[in-house]
Structure 1
Amino acid sequence: MAAEFGKDHVSIQVLTETGAQYSQVVGFVYVFNLIVGTGALTMPAAFKEAGWLLSLLAIILLAFVSYMTLTFVTETMAISNAKLRLQQVLSQSSREESVDVSVNVDERQPLLKPKVVYTDVSPSFEITQRVEMGTMAAMFFNRVGMVFFHLCIIIYLYGDLAIYAAAVPKSLRDVVCTYGGNNGTSNQTLSDDDHCWPHVSLNRMNAYRIFVAVFVLLLGPFTFFNVQKTKYLQILTSLARWTAFLMMIALTCIRLAEGKGQGHPVIADIAGVPNLFGVCVYSFMCHHSLPSLITPIRNKSRLLSVLAGNYSLILVFYLVLSFTAVFSIGNIQDLYSLNFSPHGTEPVTSVVPIQYFLALFPVFTLSTSFPIISITLRNNLTAMLTPRQGHLPWYVPKVVCPLLVLIPPVAVALGTNKVEVLVGITGSYAGAGIQYVIPAVLVLLARRDTLAVAGGYLHRSPFSHRAWVILTLIWACICINFVTVNYIISNL
C-alpha cells in the first residue's frame, strides 16, 4: 500500500471500503473538529496585528475562497469515483474483449477502443469509494504536477511538526517559569531574555529550549516505530479542546461585561495582513483529509450545503474567539492559550485550576498528534526515496528517514518559538498550495475528462465556470507574492 500524507493524514491509496457509515450530522461534527485546531490559537494575535475591521473583511474573503476550493475537491472526488467504476466494469470485460483504458483521458481522446461502445457504460458519480487527494493527483497530474503535490504536502507536514515542537515547549515554559507574574504591571511584556525564575540565571529562551529537547526525547522515538491514534484518544482530545475554547470565550465575555476589557485594537494595519493570510489558510485547512471524512456519510444529497454550514459556523466561531480576545486583552500572546497562564502578566481569570488547564491543554492535544504526523512524513519520505525498480537499504527507512523527519522541525523550534509566525509561513506557502493551487488544477483537469465533459453530474461545484478556477489561481499567486515581498521588506 502507498504511504499516507496529511494534517492528521492524507493517503495516496484507493480504498474501496468506506468503513462505518454515519449521518450528515456526525460528518458535520467530524469536519468541524478537523478544521478547528492549532490555527485557532494563533488567530486572535493575527487578528489584532491586522486590525479588527481589516481582519473581519479578510477572514470572510478567505473563508469563501477556502469553501470554493473545497467544492473543487468534492467535484474531483465525484469524477474520480466515476472513473474508477468505469475502469472496474471494463476490467471485468477485458478478459473477453481486451479493452484498453487510459488513466488520463480528455475530450480529445477516445476513452475506449472502437469495438466498445462508450454509451453502453454509465458510471455513477456518487462518492462511495474513498479516493484520497494523492490518488486524484496521480489520476490527473503529470510528473511535474506530482512533484509539486509531494513538495506541498511534505513542506506542510514539516511546518506542522515545527509548530507542534514549538507550541508544546512554549506552553510548558510559560507555566513553569514564575518570574514576572503578578508584579503590579499588568501590561508588562515578558521577553525571552527575562529570567525564568527569580534569582536564577536561566532565561526564558534557554528554558524553552530545554523543554524542546525533553519534548523530542519523549515523543521523537515514536518516529522510528508505528503507532495509531485510538478512537478514545480522539474523543478525549476533542473534549479537552472544546472545553478549553468555550472557557476562553466565556471568560473574555465576562470580562467585557464587567467593563474590564483592556484591548484597544486598531481598525486596520496592512503590515499584519500577510501573517493573517497564512493563519487563516492554516485555520481553514481540511482539503487534504476531506475524502476520509465525507465518503462514509450515508446521505450525500446535501453534501455541499453541509460543508457550507460547516464553514459558516467555523467563521462565526473564529470571529467570536478573536473579537472577544482583542477587545478584552491588551497584550495577546501568539499562542492565545498562554494569556490564561497562571504566571501571565495580564491574568484573565484568578481560578488556578482553570489557569493551568487552559495553559496546558495544547500540550495534551498537540502531543498526541506529533507522533502520527511524524510517522506520516517518514512514510512518505521513504516512498519518495524508493526507486521504481528496487528496494532501499534497511537503514534508510529505519534510521535515515526518521532522522530527516525530526532534525529540520526541531532545528526550527530551537531557533524560534514564534508559533504565530510558523503558522503564518506554513499556511502562506505549503498551505496555499494545498488549499488553492492543487484543488483548482485538479478540478480543471478532471472536468476535461471524457466522463465529465457533458456536465450535469452529482456533486458538481456551484462554481463550475472556468473563470472561478482561473481567479483562484490568480488569487493564490497574488497572495503568495504579497506575503513574500512583505516578509522580505520587514526583515531588511
Structure 2
Amino acid sequence: MGKMDEVHGSQYSPFVAFIYIFNLMVGTGCLALPSVLLKGGWFLGGFFILIVAFLSYVSVTFMLEAMATANALIRLKSKDGLEDHALLGEELGLKGDGGFEDASYLNLAPSDKHLFQIVRRTELGEMAGLFFNEWGIIMFYTTLILYLIGDSVIYSTLVARSLAFFFSEFTPASWAFDLYLGIFFCVSLPLCFFDFQKTKLLQMTTLAIRNISLYTMIILAAMKLLKGGRQDSDVPVANIAALPNLFGGAVYSFMCHHSLPGIITPMRDKSHLQRIVAVAFGSVIVVYLLLFVTSGLAFGLENIKDPLTFNFPPSQYGFLGDCLFLFPVFTLSSSFPMLSITLRNNLDTLIQHVSQKVMHGNSASDPALPTSQSKTGHRRTLLTLLAVVPPTILSYVAEHADVSVDELVGFTGAFAGCAVMLIIPAFLVYCSRREFAKSYAGAWNHQKSTSKPTIPKNIHQSPFGGQGWVLAILVWAGLSLLFNIFEDWELSISR
C-alpha cells in the first residue's frame, strides 16, 4: 500500500467516533435551548429544532462525501494515477474501509470502491485548496480561523468565569478569573499537542458526565412537574415573532462540521458511516426534546432560566445543584482541545498552501504529498501554541475590557458559524463533484483509453445527492444570516 493511503496513528471503533460527534454537538448551548424554543411556542419551537437537525445532518453528509472525493482526487493526481488506483484495489480486497471483500457492494469494481476510501485525513483547508479558486480559499480560511478562534475564546472565558463564581468564597474577585484562566490553559495545553485519538479517555469521561448531568436535569424537572403540576400556561402554541430568537439561539445546535476530518479518518470501519452520524444526531435530538418538554412543563416560559442549570440552584438542590452548575466546565474542557487540534491542523494546511504558492507561483502543487509526513516535532509544537495561546490572551483581554460573552457568541455564531456549518459544506460538495468528474476524465484520457469513462459512484455519497439539496442548504444559510442580522439590530436598538 502506498504511503498516502496509510492511516497514521491509532484507530478507534465507530462508537468512539459517535462519542466525539455527540460531545461536539452537545455543548453549553443546550442549556439555553429550552428558553429559546419556549419563546417560539410548543409547535414552532419543536418543529424548528427538528428542521435544524435535519438540515444540519444534510450538510454533514455533504462533508463526508467531500472528504471521500478529496481522497479519490488525491489518488487520481498521484504519480501512478489510475494504474496505482486499480492495483491498490486489487491488492487490498477492499477490507480497509468497509469490511467488504467481494465486488458486489454497490455494483462497483474493486478499484472504484478503493478509490473513495477515507484513509487520509483531508482537513477543511486541504479540501478548500483542492476544490476552490484562490478567492474561495482566502474567504474560507478567514471564516474558519475566525470561527475557531472565536469559539476558543468563548470556551476559555466561560470555564474561567464559571470556576471563579463557583469558588468565589476561596479566591478574591479581583484576580479569580485570571487564576482559573491560567489553570484551564495549563490543563488543556498538553491535550492539544496530540490528535483526536489521544483524547479518547477524556471524551468518554465527559460523555458520561454530560449525560448524567443532562438526564439529572430532565429527571429533576419531571419530579417538579409531578409534584407541582404543569406550569406551561404561558407557553404559546406558535409565536412567529420569536423566529429571530430561534435562528439566533438554536440554528447552530448541531455544529460538529469543522472537526469531522479528524474524527472520521481514524475510524477502523467506515462501512456504516452515514448511519453512525445519523444515530449521533438522533441521540442529540432526543436529549434536546426531553430538555425542552420537561423544563417547559415544569417551569413555564416566565420561570425558565438561561442557562437551564440556574433552575436547579445549590441552595435548593444541594450537591446536585453544585454539580450541575459546573456542567459548562466539564463540557467545554473536552471540546476546547478538539477545537484547538482542528485549528492547528488547518493552520498547517494554510502554511503549506502559502509555501507552495511562494515556491511554485501559480502552478498547481501536488496534492498527493501527505501533509502529516512533513510535520516535525518543532512544527507541531509551534502550531499548537499558535492555536492555543492567542485565544487565551484574547479571553484575558475580553474579560478586562468588559466584552460580554453574548457579543462574542453573536459575532462568531451568527456569521462565521453559519459559513462553517452550512455554506462551506454546500460549496465543498458542489465543487468536489465537478472537480472529480473533470479529473477522472483527464486521468482516463492520460491512459490513452479509447472507451468512454464511467464516473464511479462515491461509496460515501450523500443520500441527498440532488443539486436542489445544495440550494436548500444555501437558502437556509441565507435565512439564518438575515434573521441573525435582524436580531443583532434589535438588540443594538434596545441598549
TM-score, normalising length: structure 1 = 0.73
Inter-partner Cα distance in structure 2 for 1:339 and 1:462: 41
Structure 1 stretch 215-224 or stretch 122-131: which is displaced more? 215-224
Tell me what 2:430 maps to. 444
The runs of 5 or more residues in structure 1 that have no matched partner are 1-13, 95-118, 179-201, 391-395
Tell me what 1:142 maps to. 133
Tell me what 2:87 maps to. none
Where does 1:156-235 land on structure 2 (aligned, <5 Å)?
156-172=147-163, 174-176=165-167, 207=173, 210-220=175-185, 227-228=193-194, 230-235=199-204
- For the Cα contact (< 8 Å) 1:70–1:287, is it kept in 2? yes
Paired residue type of 1:80: A
Tell me what 1:406 maps to. 392
Inter-partner Cα distance in structure 2 for 1:23 and 1:376: 20
The equivalent position to 1:303 in structure 2, one of 273, 276, 284, is 273
Tell me what 1:287 maps to. 257
**C-alpha distance after superposition, 1:68-104 (max 9, x if no partner):** 111111111221121222233626989xxxxxxxxxx
Where does 1:317-332 land on structure 2 (aligned, <5 Å)?
317-329=287-299, 330-332=302-304
Inter-partner Cα distance in structure 2 for 1:230 and 1:302: 23
Q: CA deviation at 1:138?
A: 1.4
Tell me what 2:325 maps to. 359
- Shift in CA distance, 232/298, structure 1 to aligned 2, threshold 3 Å: closer
- Shift in CA distance, 440/412, structure 1 to aligned 2, threshold 3 Å: same
1:460 pairs with 2:477: no
Structure 1 stretch 452-461 or stretch 158-167: which is displaced more? 452-461
The equivalent position to 2:284 in structure 1, one of 314, 320, 331, is 314
Inter-partner Cα distance in structure 1 for 2:458 and 2:400: 51
Tell me what 2:228 maps to. 259
Structure 1 stretch 299-308 or stretch 282-291: which is displaced more? 299-308
Q: CA deviation at 1:224?
A: 8.3
The equivalent position to 2:310 in structure 1, one of 335, 338, 345, is 338
Percent identity reads 37
Paired residue type of 2:180: F
Q: CA deviation at 1:377?
A: 4.7
Kindly report the root-mean-square deviation, in angstroms, between the aligned alpha carbons of the 2 structures: 3.9
**C-alpha distance after superposition, 1:305-338 (max 9, x if no partner):** 3322322222122111122122223533322223
SS at match of 1:324: helix
Tell me what 1:111 maps to. none
Q: CA deviation at 1:434?
A: 0.8
- For the Cα contact (< 8 Å) 1:334–1:420, is it kept in 2? no
Inter-partner Cα distance in structure 2 for 1:377 and 1:304: 25
- Shift in CA distance, 462/374, structure 1 to aligned 2, threshold 3 Å: closer
Tell me what 2:40 maps to. 50
1:488 pairs with 2:489: yes
Relative to its length, the structure with more helix (as a share) is 2
- Shift in CA distance, 341/380, structure 1 to aligned 2, threshold 3 Å: farther
SS at match of 1:282: coil
Tell me what 2:67 maps to. 77
Inter-partner Cα distance in structure 2 for 1:243 and 1:433: 32
- For the Cα contact (< 8 Å) 1:167–1:417, is it kept in 2? no
SS at match of 1:130: coil
**C-alpha distance after superposition, 1:382-431 (max 9, x if no partner):** 886896359xxxxx989998664334344444566865665454332111
TM-score, normalising length: structure 2 = 0.72
Inter-partner Cα distance in structure 2 for 1:358 and 1:399: 32
- Shift in CA distance, 130/430, structure 1 to aligned 2, threshold 3 Å: same
Q: How many residues in Structure 1 have an aligned counterpart in Structure 2?
A: 421
Paired residue type of 1:337: T
- Shift in CA distance, 484/379, structure 1 to aligned 2, threshold 3 Å: same
Inter-partner Cα distance in structure 2 for 1:120 and 1:311: 31
